[in-house]
Structures are given as C-alpha cells and as structure tokens.
Amino acid sequence: MRGEWISAHSEHAILLPRLSLNALKALISRCDLLIGNDTGPTHMAWAMNRPSITLFGPTPVSRVHVTSINKVLKSPSHVDPYRLNKEDFSIKEIAPESVVALAETLLPKER
C-alpha cells in the first residue's frame, strides 16, 4: 500500500512487480543509485559496485563496509545483535531529508 502511495505521488518512483533474481540484477546494474533497507537488493548493489544507501533500523550496521559509493544511514536505536527486537520500527526515525542529502552526493551531477 505504501509503495502504491509513493508511486502515485512521485514523478520518479516506480513500483515494480515481483522480479526474478536475474531481472533484479539487470535492474540494479542500470541504477544510478539504489536506496533501501538492509535487504537483498541493497547487498546486491554493494556486490555489483553500484551506488547505494542502506537504511538500518534495529539491525547491526557493524557487518557492512562503507565505501565511497556505498553508504549507510542508521536509526538512533540501540541494537543488541544477540537479541534483535522484531517490534523495533526505529528505521522510521531516519529523516527523509538526510536520505535526500546523502543521495545528492552520490547521484551523477549531470543527468
């Protein structure tokens, strides 16, 4: 539902159907920037050397390596890597403005 709302209210957001792994890899290879939470597509962007911003809520950020084109934004919540709280939705506390500001540093200047 949120995806439909975002897509309907943004000239740049596109809601995609479920993709095969190969189709997802092909799509990521063409992205100027991938923004997402700590899931498969953002990890694939890192592995494929594509610019990305990974949003972390209640999961440990220590297991990722930040590069010049792969960045992380972390919510202020405390993370216990031995007891993850599935009811912690602190990823919502990441300000959209901080995502936009970081994205502007990673996107190509001329598009």
Q: Is 49 left (phi over 0), alpha (psi -120 to 50) or beta?
A: left
More confident residue, 47 or 3: 47
Q: Is the pTM of this model over 0.85?
A: no
Mean pLDDT of all residues belonging to the chain: 88
Four-residue CA torsion sign, 76, 79, 104, 14: negative
* Nearest in space to 99 (alpha carbons), one of 67, 68, 75, 63: 75
Domain boundaries of the chain, sorted by first residue: 33-106
Query: Over pLDDT 70: what percentage of the chain?
Result: 96
| Distance separating alpha carbons of residues 92 and 104, to the nearest angstrom | 20
Query: Do 7 and 14 contact (CB within 8 A), yes or no?
Result: yes
Please tell me the predicted confidence (pLDDT) of residue 111. 55
Condensed to tens digits (0 to 9), the pLDDT of residues 46-78 reads 999 999 999 998 777 877 888 999 999 998 887
Please tell me the predicted confidence (pLDDT) of residue 33. 94
Condensed to tens digits (0 to 9), the pLDDT of residues 17-54 reads 899 999 999 999 999 999 999 889 999 999 999 999 99
